[in-house]
Structure 1
Amino acid sequence: MPLGPKSSAINIHGTTVTDSSHNVPRTPTNITIHPVALFSILDHYLRRTDAQDRVIGTLLGTRHDNEVEVRSSFAVLHSETDEQVAVDMDYHRTMYELHHKVNPKEVIVGWYSTGSNLNTYSALIQNFYSQETSPHQAIHVSVNTGTEEGQEAGVKAYISSPVGVNPKPENCVFVPVPVELRFHDAERSGLDLLANTASLPAATTAQPVADLEIIERALVSVSDMLDRVLTYVRAVLAGEKKGDPAIGRYLMDTLGASTEDLEKGGFNTSLQDTLMISYLANLVRAQAEVSSRLALTAAS
């Protein structure tokens, strides 16, 4: 993609507009990214050459109305100079065909890049991916790795809008779109392992957590949350803290205590069930600790 004179590709902060027409695809207003896609982007960045300031790749996922879900990604070869930017389109299409055979439900939804620089090259690459995702809009996910001075690590998402009476591919506005990280329950243990590894000394390597330890940690977490709720409720009843109506309604919904339930004693029944669950949780935790100690004793 050769470049001409410098263009007006800019980065602004604004809101997106959803097209209500049934014939025109709706503009994405929310983007979710799964950890697999994010880790693939970071791995691509770590494997870059010294001459590369940033890396780019293709995002794959699904669309639901005005929401885009990014499930996976793959790297795309490209090079940038002061005069031009080149993207290996044949490699991109070959990789997509291979990926589509394995995951036929996932389609191209846009592209990613590392760093926080949105320039003319970004506009040209955005124009290429817009053709790949037509008639839908292509999204752009910018992953800031935090290695640049003064830049914090984070993820941002954009869609593009052409500017000018006769728009050119290199002239567009990047409009930010809300983005969030979403993971399945089955992925939680892996993410917890990575988080724990990051907080450990460099000489220490975390090991995969056993099922009993996962249950124990979950029970401890639930117990801590119950202690926080009890502390808050007791402080409100004692007049030490002003009660928040929103928190009160949330607790009533969680415990299943409506006004009718309070009159019929439903709250007491629900409270007894909660106490029974807490008792069983402590019993399971104690059993897990005993089993672990017996296993260590037998091993020694």
Structure 2
Amino acid sequence: MPLGPSSSAVHITNHAASAANAPRTPTSVTVHPVALFSILDHYLRRTDLQDRVIGTLLGTRTETEVEVRSSFAVLHSETSEQVAVDMEYHRAMYELHHKVNPKEVIVGWYSTGSNLNTYSALIQNFYSQETAPNQAIHLAINTGVEEGEQSGVKAYVSSPVGVFPKPENCLFVPVPVELQFHDAERSGIDLITKTAAAPNSTTSQPISDLEILEQSIVTVQDMLERVLAYVQSVLSGEKKGDPAIGRYLMDTLGASTDDLEKGGFNSSLQIDETGYSNDLIPLQPRPVTSRSIL
């Protein structure tokens, strides 16, 4: 069904809702690697005639936070005159996903590229009806294929423009977005990263938990060396200190020092008769922004 301005079947705007009852605007969006990889796979499988691909985002949400856990592709076509989206396919796919994961709901849609136009506003209006009364999230994935554009992920919510808002007229407001992964997903991300950077096409094999721990310790050691080099260069006057970095280091190292003084580190390690630890502290990765992954 076309989503052009001449179509009235899709553009259903509820003007009766008052501003007082309107849902709060999300303050943060979290994207899981599974959803991101699904979007990139959809982009790689596109036809030569498609400049961008779109799809539906699934996940959970609170009043101020949206967590994107998965996604699926949606068939669509764009011309200079109109854009068409297969809404029946979208709803059929959502019913299948909802049977597998009943807790996941539609939270918005995604598209590749950084171009936000009238068609984007029309598609946003359609998904706003799917997520009502909550606002729909638009996730723009820039793959960095085009020259002069940097890869990254941006999230938006829409705001109506004008005294009498029209579906094709809206303002996309940026929302902070980050890529977050669980401990079980870290080994998979590291494996994919190493395979992509490998000079040959040989696929690496998953590594053991002990090797993951060893790599984590080496990574932490490299971070400490970079921090130490930065602090020494600031103290010697080679570099000008950044107050933001100083406050971050003070908060991070201060909390770690408090734990050491209280004996929290020693009490969490239980050494058996063989000299090995029975209770290793898992390294908790900090949420990584999407720009550092892509």
* Shared fold, TM over 0.5: yes
Q: SS of the residue aligned with 1:69?
A: strand
Identity percentage of aligned residues: 66
* Separation in structure 1 between the aligned mates of residue 140 and residue 80 of structure 2, nearest angstrom: 21
Report the counterpart of residue 255 of structure 1 in structure 2.
257
Report the counterpart of residue 4 of structure 2 in structure 1.
3
Report the counterpart of residue 273 of structure 1 in structure 2.
266
**Is the 2:195–2:201 Cα contact (8 Å) retained in structure 1?**
no
1:169 is aligned, of 162, 167, 170, to 167
Aligned amino acid, residue 266 of structure 2? D
Aligned amino acid, residue 253 of structure 1? A
For residues 43-87 of structure 1, what are the alpha-carbon distances to aligned partners after superposition, in whole Å with 9 as ceiling and x for unaligned?
A: 000011111111000001111221111000000001111111110
**Is the 1:2–1:83 Cα contact (8 Å) retained in structure 2?**
no
* Separation in structure 2 between the aligned mates of residue 245 and residue 76 of structure 1, nearest angstrom: 45
Report the counterpart of residue 107 of structure 2 in structure 1.
109
Report the counterpart of residue 24 of structure 1 in structure 2.
22
**Is the 1:85–1:121 Cα contact (8 Å) retained in structure 2?**
yes
Q: SS of the residue aligned with 1:132?
A: helix
**Is the 2:55–2:74 Cα contact (8 Å) retained in structure 1?**
yes
More helix by percentage:
1
Report the counterpart of residue 42 of structure 2 in structure 1.
44
- Normalised TM-score (structure 1): 0.75
Aligned 1:126-275 pairs, distance under 5 A = 126-224=124-222, 247-248=249-250, 250-256=252-258, 267=261, 270=263, 273=266
CA RMSD of the aligned region, Å?
A: 3.3
Point out the more displaced range, 152-161 or 196-205.
196-205
Report the counterpart of residue 283 of structure 2 in structure 1.
none
The structure-2 alpha-carbon separation of the partners of 1:255 and 1:95, relative to structure 1 and needing over 3 Å to count, comes to same
* Separation in structure 2 between the aligned mates of residue 148 and residue 272 of structure 1, nearest angstrom: 48
**Is the 2:34–2:70 Cα contact (8 Å) retained in structure 1?**
yes
Q: Which runs of 5+ in 1 are unaligned?
A: 6-18, 258-265, 286-300
1:246 Cα shift? 6.0
1:226 Cα shift? 5.9
Report the counterpart of residue 90 of structure 1 in structure 2.
88
1:78 is aligned, of 61, 73, 76, to 76
* Separation in structure 2 between the aligned mates of residue 59 and residue 185 of structure 1, nearest angstrom: 23
Larger Rg: 1
1:224 Cα shift? 4.7
**Is the 1:137–1:159 Cα contact (8 Å) retained in structure 2?**
yes
**Is the 2:5–2:168 Cα contact (8 Å) retained in structure 1?**
no
Count of residues in Structure 1 that have an aligned counterpart in Structure 2: 255
* Separation in structure 1 between the aligned mates of residue 250 and residue 78 of structure 2, nearest angstrom: 57
**Is the 2:3–2:85 Cα contact (8 Å) retained in structure 1?**
no
**Is the 1:193–1:208 Cα contact (8 Å) retained in structure 2?**
yes
The structure-2 alpha-carbon separation of the partners of 1:255 and 1:91, relative to structure 1 and needing over 3 Å to count, comes to same
- Normalised TM-score (structure 2): 0.76
1:142 Cα shift? 0.4
The structure-2 alpha-carbon separation of the partners of 1:78 and 1:219, relative to structure 1 and needing over 3 Å to count, comes to same
Q: SS of the residue aligned with 2:145?
A: coil
* Separation in structure 1 between the aligned mates of residue 102 and residue 3 of structure 2, nearest angstrom: 33
The structure-2 alpha-carbon separation of the partners of 1:52 and 1:207, relative to structure 1 and needing over 3 Å to count, comes to same
**Is the 1:111–1:140 Cα contact (8 Å) retained in structure 2?**
yes
The structure-2 alpha-carbon separation of the partners of 1:4 and 1:251, relative to structure 1 and needing over 3 Å to count, comes to closer
Aligned amino acid, residue 26 of structure 1? R
The structure-2 alpha-carbon separation of the partners of 1:247 and 1:86, relative to structure 1 and needing over 3 Å to count, comes to closer
The structure-2 alpha-carbon separation of the partners of 1:229 and 1:124, relative to structure 1 and needing over 3 Å to count, comes to closer
**Is the 2:113–2:142 Cα contact (8 Å) retained in structure 1?**
yes
1:196 Cα shift? 1.4
* Separation in structure 1 between the aligned mates of residue 265 and residue 102 of structure 2, nearest angstrom: 49
Aligned amino acid, residue 4 of structure 2? L
Q: SS of the residue aligned with 1:31?
A: strand
Q: SS of the residue aligned with 1:196?
A: helix
Aligned amino acid, residue 78 of structure 2? E
